[in-house]
Structure 1
Amino acid sequence: MALTSSMEDYLEAVLMIQQRHGYVRCVDVAEQLNVTKPSVSRAVKELSKMGFLVKKTDGTLSLTEKGFQIADQIYEKHQFFTQQLIEVGISPELAEIDACRMEHVISQESFEQLRDAYNAHKDD
């Protein structure tokens, strides 16, 4: 089963919360994504089954290596597109919303080419 945009959002949220707090609870993910705790439980179960996430005995969540790689890629795309949109005059709020959409539809290869071209041009 391929990852959906929603599943990618869950992985990205776990990464972001982990970076901020050092640990991740289901309630934190629910708050971050503005979803219900039962929704988080279903997503955690599916992502765990797919090998992206582990729910520890204390109830905290952690990304597997495979999960971290996906979450990190999504988060990098999100940060890049948010920054680019803000730089061209889009409000930070709208930039966040649009970046979240864009991060899911662009392939990793296209993103890397775009990012590298931007960075090369920026350094000129």
Structure 2
Amino acid sequence: MTPMKEDYLKIIFELGGKSKKISNKQIAMGLNIAAGSVTEMVTKLVEEGLAKHTPYAGISLTEEGIQIAEIMVRKHRMWETFLVEKLNYKLSEVDSDAEVLEHVTSDHLLDSLDKFLGYPTHCPHGGVIPDKEGNYQEDSHTLLADVKEGATVKVDRFIDNHELLNYLDEIDLDIGDRIHVVHHAPFEGPTTVKLLDNESPTDERQISYKAAHYVFVQED
């Protein structure tokens, strides 16, 4: 399997494609590629039995696709944890190196890395790490963009995307932040949120439309 196919399976998995339909637009945004180029790869994944596509609804993973995605996610997020915890990488720096390392990681190396890190269950940007037997607690799949105005939620995880992580670092939004959703601007405008745990009671952030679709939250 090519690294590109593996990357598609990973992003579909991250976006919730184990149990729901993911659009081509979501995949394109997550991989920073043109939406038109997604169709061809989606067709290949369906032909190989790794995904199933429903017209006008989206794509989800088959059991075989899920199994491959879980393995790749485990490798990628384990290396991210190592790079951040042991080599002091910034969160926004880890994706490219973890991407290289995951594709050359043997099962023995992965098991050794898991033991060395103390069997972590989540990576630094909040994503779940399946254990050796494939067990894990399901990620949150509630998008900040879908939270009703006036609701209070906690930031649970970010999509593993270099551009996104740099952006969130710049606006100082972190895993675990409690936020009050003030307003979703129309026509793909930003989402305004208020950070509740900061000293300033008026500490507001404007989060871009694209980023709001790759920040996952939980009810507070």
Native 8 Å contact 1:81 1:99 kept in 2: yes
Native 8 Å contact 2:82 2:117 kept in 1: no
Equivalent residue, structure 1, for 2:78: 80
Equivalent residue, structure 2, for 1:27: 25
For the residues of structure 1 that align with 2:36 and 2:77, how far apart are their CA atoms? 28
Equivalent residue, structure 2, for 1:95: 94
Unaligned runs of 5+ in 1: none
Query: 1:22 Cα deviation (Å)?
Result: 4.4
| TM-score of the superposed pair, with normalisation by structure 1 | 0.83
Unaligned runs of 5+ in 2: 120-220
**Superposition pairs for residues 1-124 of structure 1, below 5 Å?**
3-18=1-16, 22-88=20-86, 89-119=88-118
| TM-score of the superposed pair, with normalisation by structure 2 | 0.49
| Matched AA of 2:3 | S
Give per-residue Cα distances to partners, 1:53-110, cap 9 Å, x unaligned.
1111333110000000011111111111111101121121221221122112212343
Give per-residue Cα distances to partners, 1:10-59, cap 9 Å, x unaligned.
0000000117x943101100000001122211111111111101111333
Using a 3 Å threshold, how does the CA distance of structure 1 residues 92 and 116 change in structure 2: closer, same or farther? same
For the residues of structure 1 that align with 2:34 and 2:80, how far apart are their CA atoms? 26
Give the count of matched residue pairs: 117
**Percent of counterpart pairs with the same letter?**
27
Higher relative contact order (CA 8 A, sep 6+): 1
For the residues of structure 1 that align with 2:47 and 2:107, how far apart are their CA atoms? 24
The CA RMSD over aligned residues, in Å, is: 2.0
| Matched AA of 1:11 | L
Using a 3 Å threshold, how does the CA distance of structure 1 residues 59 and 108 change in structure 2: closer, same or farther? farther
Which one has the bigger helix percentage?
1
Native 8 Å contact 1:17 1:23 kept in 2: no
For the residues of structure 1 that align with 2:84 and 2:23, how far apart are their CA atoms? 31
| Matched AA of 1:94 | E
Query: 1:115 Cα deviation (Å)?
Result: 1.5
SS in 1 for 2:57: coil
Which one has the bigger strand percentage?
2
